[in-house]
Chains A and B, each alone.
Chain A
Amino acid sequence: MSSNGYKPKVAVFKFASCDGCQLSLLDCEDELLAVAAAIEICYFPEATRKVVKGPYDIALVEGSVTTHHDAQRIQQVRRSAKTLITIGACATAGGVQALRNWQDSAEMVRTVYAKPDFISTLKMSTPIAEHVPVDFELRGCPVQKYHLIELITATLIGRKPNIPAYSVCMECKRNGNLCIAVAQGEPCLGPVTQAGCGALCPAFNRGCYGCFGPMESANAEALTGVMLRNGSTKDEIQRNFRTYNAWAWQFRQASEEVEKR
């Protein structure tokens, strides 16, 4: 909130997504009131029916572009917002729905829907940044609520948000987890995945699923070698890389390259 009482105008837009990231925002409970007091929420259908016209100071965008209509709408959103922030794996990497990018989507539509003529969809699910310039991409499936608060707070006062881009392993070790990749040979995407979840899965004896997408210098090729040596099959490795962030180029490339090894 600036000293003259002006409250930055914030809008939340949804594209192809499950709403989980917007729910993370609502899940901020204690902090939500403080955030809400500092900003004017102009458009957030999940939370309020109120609609205030743009332009907006901050647009939070959830979801990927999967239809012609989406592709047009994101242009409007970009024009209406000073700062555009994507939230979550769908908006940032195309989401789990980007699995269709390796399939014949027209055929899938024919198989699934009784009246396919009513379905108008693009061949691919693509991240927002493939369509318009994005000011910040907040990772996660879903995003971490404390990241959201940090991001909004930092943006409001004009400082760089403190959101590390290093690996999940850093959090895993700081938290004192035992490395299940080394101690059990489990496939774990932690070394190539950006921190943010607090190494949740390794704490529960599961390999990291890669919810936060590729870390800053993800060496997915080397990790593929590690997983093969630890006994994962090529199929399993491909499935490991093809989840919520399947279309992020580092994971995409690894999932395609593993077939050739």
Chain B
Amino acid sequence: MKKQAVRFDDTGLTCLIELLRGEGYEVIGPRKSGPAVRLARIESAADLTPGIDSETSPGRYRMAGAPDARIFGAGPAAESPKRYLHAPEARLAVAERENGAFRIIRDTPAAPKTALFGIRPCDVAGIARLDRVLLRDRYKDPDYEARREQTFIVAANCVRSSETCFCASMETGPRAASGFDIALTESVNGRREYLAEAGSTKGAAMLAQIKAEPAAADFVKASHAQCEAASAQQTRSVDYRRARKVILRNFEHRRWDAVGKRCLACGNCTMSCPTCFCVNTKDSSSPDLSHAERRRLWDSCFTQAFSYIHGGSVRTSTKSRYRQWLSHKLAHWQDQFGETGCVGCGRCITWCPAGIDITEEFAALDSSSQS
């Protein structure tokens, strides 16, 4: 693959969206929807979010005016792109009774062609984590695989960090290193301009169709420097290399009791997380027993049924569920998949109604293991 970096303005951006649509992609990008920036269908560049920022803090999200007219300045969208690849609910199979026997019909609906446009480096990393779990483990998830093959990823590198972001410490951002087809870095010098870098053959082929000048070395450097500035803005961090040791050493720490009292066990953190992949299956049958269905739904380790084995749930207390969650994200995921289950997007902090902060909880364990 020829490494390709070009420079274009809003005309080039418009052209990129048109090209994607022309190739049959449904373009999903950051869009103002009610009181938040959300991932939604984009018809043209006009649907994106110029001049919008988001203020985030534990348990709080507010859309706000931005200091400049950037299109990609609003931080991570309210939800991660997970739902477009790993559907929140899917029918896996149907069984029909027929002449005393039954027939199983597997229905795998055709995967839609989706372009994830302007998603953040943390989200790109989140998709890579899902790939590791759902495509490159002992079992492949066919639904995920089909959707993944039909996905085109246009990352938007971050030039500002939100308050709850900590991707720098997780080494997943603010600039995406891999996992995208095209990565954009936006600059504003009187007008909006973009450094567009190809990350795949598909991406390079797409860029080749846009009228744009090659990006000169100084433009590349200046664009990337903005991401370094965004990195320096981050106040939260997790030392993921030490995480496993710290957590395993502190399994009986008092901090778990304290967070167990605050936690609602509502599951919002796992639902919002770009990497949480857990599902449950739900069977149902029609009253006359002629028809049965198996569906798959996003599940969460915060539910009691999640740890149900013969005789009851293993994790009955909220404390034990929170501990499972944080331990899986930062420690056990490393044992299972050789990387963390957290990419530092900060959504579990922002979208936790109780404002529980994974970085703060980890820091509390960490400080006591140091002393």
A residues in contact (CB < 8 Å) with B: 1, 31, 34-35, 37-38, 149-150, 152-153, 156-157, 162, 164-167, 169-170, 173-176, 178-179, 181-185, 188, 190-192, 205, 215-217, 219, 221-223, 225-226, 229
B271 at the interface (CB under 8 A from A): yes
Task: Find out whether the CB atom of B318 lies under 8 angstroms from the CB atom of A191.
Answer: no
Interface string of B327-360 (1 = CB under 8 A from A): 0000000000000000000000011111100000
Q: Is B243 an interface residue (CB 8 A)?
A: no
Partner of B262, one of A153, A178, A183, A222: A222
B38 close to chain A: CB less than 8 A: yes
Contact assessment for B271 and A169 in the assembled complex, using a CB-CB cutoff below 8 Å: yes
Size category of the B interface is 35 or more
* Complexed CA–CA distance, A76 and B249 (Å): 58
Chain B window 225-241, contacts with chain A (Cβ cutoff 8 Å), 1 for yes, 0 for no:
00000000000000000
Does B289 touch A at the CB level, under 8 Å? yes
Contact with A along B292-322 (1 / 0, CB 8 A): 0000011010111100000000000010000
Residues of chain A contacted by B289 (CB below 8 angstroms): 153, 157
Q: Report the minimum CB–CB distance from B35 to chain A (whole Å).
A: 5
**Bound complex: CA of A35 vs CA of B284, how far in Å?**
14
Q: Is the CB of B61 within 8 A of A182?
A: yes
- The reply to whether A35 and B287 contact each other, CB–CB distance below 8 Å, is yes
Q: List 23 A-B contacts (CB under 8 A).
A: A1-B288, A31-B286, A152-B287, A153-B287, A157-B285, A166-B302, A167-B267, A173-B267, A173-B298, A174-B89, A174-B271, A178-B33, A182-B353, A183-B36, A183-B61, A184-B35, A192-B266, A217-B265, A217-B318, A219-B265, A219-B318, A222-B263, A226-B353
Of the candidates A1, A166, A185, the one whose C-beta lies within 8 Å of that of B267 is A166
- In-complex Cβ contact of A226 among B272, B283, B351, B354 (8 A): B354
**Contact across chains for B305 and A165 when beta carbons are under 8 A apart:** yes
Cβ of B62 < 8 Å from any Cβ of A?
A: yes
Chain B residues whose CB sits within 8 angstroms of the CB of A215 once the complex forms? 265
Q: Which residues does chain B contribute within 8 Å of A38, judged by CB atoms?
A: 287-288
The reply to whether A178 and B264 form a contact with Cβ atoms under 8 Å apart is no
Residues from chain A with Cβ under 8 Å of B282 in the complex: 162
When the two chains form their complex, are residues A181 and B285 in contact, meaning their CB atoms are under 8 A apart?
no
Please determine whether A153 and B285 come into contact, CB atoms closer than 8 angstroms. yes
| With A164-B305, A174-B88, A217-B265 already in contact, 15 other A-B pairs whose C-beta atoms are closer than 8 Å | A1-B288, A34-B287, A166-B300, A166-B302, A170-B298, A176-B88, A178-B36, A178-B38, A179-B61, A179-B78, A179-B268, A191-B266, A223-B264, A223-B353, A223-B354
Determine if A170 and B303 form an interchain contact, defined as CB atoms under 8 angstroms apart: yes
Assess whether B297 is in contact with A222, with CB atoms less than 8 Å apart: no
B34 within 8 A of A: yes
Residues from chain B with a CB closer than 8 A to the CB of A217 are 265, 304, 318
For the complex, what is the distance from the CA of A217 to the CA of B316, rounded to whole Å? 9
CA distance in complex: A164, B281 (Å): 12
The contact of B268 among A164, A185, A191, by CB within 8 Å, is A191
The reply to whether the CB of B242 lies closer than 8 angstroms to some CB of chain A is no
A226 to B262, CA, bound (A): 9
Q: What distance in Å separates the Cβ of A198 from its nearest Cβ neighbour in chain B?
A: 11
B261 at the interface (CB under 8 A from A): yes
B83 interfacial by beta-carbon distance below 8 Å = yes
- A216 touching B268 in the complex, CB below 8 Å, given contacts A153-B287, A162-B282, A176-B79: no
> Which chain B residue shows the least CB distance to A38?
B287
Pairwise interchain contact A170-B285, C-beta atoms closer than 8 A: no
Once bound together, how far apart are the Cα atoms of A166 and B304, in whole Å? 7
Contact of B300 among A156, A170, A184, A190 (CB under 8 A): A170
- Tell me the complex Cα distance, A229–B57, Å: 13
Give the interface centre of A169, A182, A191, A217 by most chain B CB atoms within 10 Å. Answer: A182
B211 close to A (CB within 8 Å): no
Residues in chain B near residue A34, CB distance under 8 A: 286-288
Shortest Cβ distance from B356 into A: residue: A222
Instruction: Give CA–CA (A124, B6) in the complex, Å.
Output: 75
Whether a CB of chain A sits under 8 angstroms from the CB of B179 is no
CB–CB B271/A226 < 8 A = no
- Measured between beta carbons, the chain B residues less than 8 angstroms from A219 are 261, 263-265, 318
B266 touches A167 (CB 8 A): yes
The reply to whether B88 and A164 contact each other, CB–CB distance below 8 Å, is: no
Which single residue of chain A is at the shortest CB-CB distance from B38? A178
Complex contact B264–A31 (CB within 8 A): no
A-side contacts of B253, CB under 8 Å = none
**Distance A156 CA – B288 CA, assembled complex (angstroms):** 10
Among B83, B263, B268, B355, residue most surrounded by chain A Cβ atoms (within 10 Å): B268
The 7 tightest CB contacts between A and B, nearest first, are A173-B271, A191-B266, A174-B88, A191-B264, A169-B266, A34-B287, A166-B303
A162 to B293, CA, bound (A): 12
Q: Does B59 lie at the interface of the complex (its beta carbon under 8 Å from any beta carbon of A)?
A: yes
Contacts of A164 in B (CB 8 A): 303, 305
Please indicate the chain B residues that have their CB under 8 angstroms from the CB of A170 in the complex. Answer: 266-267, 271, 298, 300, 303
Shortest distance between the CB of A220 and any CB in chain B (Å): 9
Alpha-carbon distance between A175 and B298 when the two chains are bound, in angstroms? 11
A182 to B60, CA, bound (A): 5
Task: Report the separation of the CA atoms of residues A221 and B264 in the bound assembly, to the nearest whole angstrom.
Answer: 9
| Known contacts A150-B284, A176-B83; A182/B318 CB under 8 A | no
In the docked arrangement, what's the CA distance between A205 and B266, Å? 19
